[in-house]
Amino acid sequence: MIGSRSGANAVAVWMILMKNGPYGWQEKVFILQQRCLWLCEQLDLLNIKYFRNEFSNIVTIKSEYVPQILAKKYGLVPDNHKNAQWFKIVVMDHVTIEKLQLLINDLKQSIN
């Protein structure tokens, strides 16, 4: 039977909850939020303007602070591919503090 919606999203959420349980998922989200908080603190130290909703795992940085070569190196997603105003960093499991530190180090060098 063909439906109007894909069941993939519902199955994915069900699998996540079955694998991690409610507390495992809560812990995972907490860790991602702490990584975002760490990133924002580092950006504050560099006086780099950014935006982040405190409940989100996404940080957007004003494009004027991110050289194009760094955006490409770190796979940052622009808000507009022709004339980017913002670059987006989505903090997921594989985006560790160590990887974020590499970006911060490169941003420091680009400022100097």
At 50-79, the pLDDT tens digits run 999 999 999 999 999 999 999 999 999 999
HSE of 23, CA atoms in CB hemisphere, 13 A: 0
| Domains assigned to the chain | 8-111 (3.90.1150.10)
Distance in angstroms (rounded) separating the CA atoms of residues 56 and 32: 9
101 Ramachandran zone, left/alpha/beta (phi>0; psi -120 to 50)? alpha
Q: Are 76 and 94 in contact (CB under 8 A)?
A: no
Mean pLDDT of 26-42: 95
Task: Judge residue 15's burial from the number of C-beta atoms within 10 Å of its C-beta, 0-12 exposed, 13-18 middle, 19 or more buried.
Answer: exposed
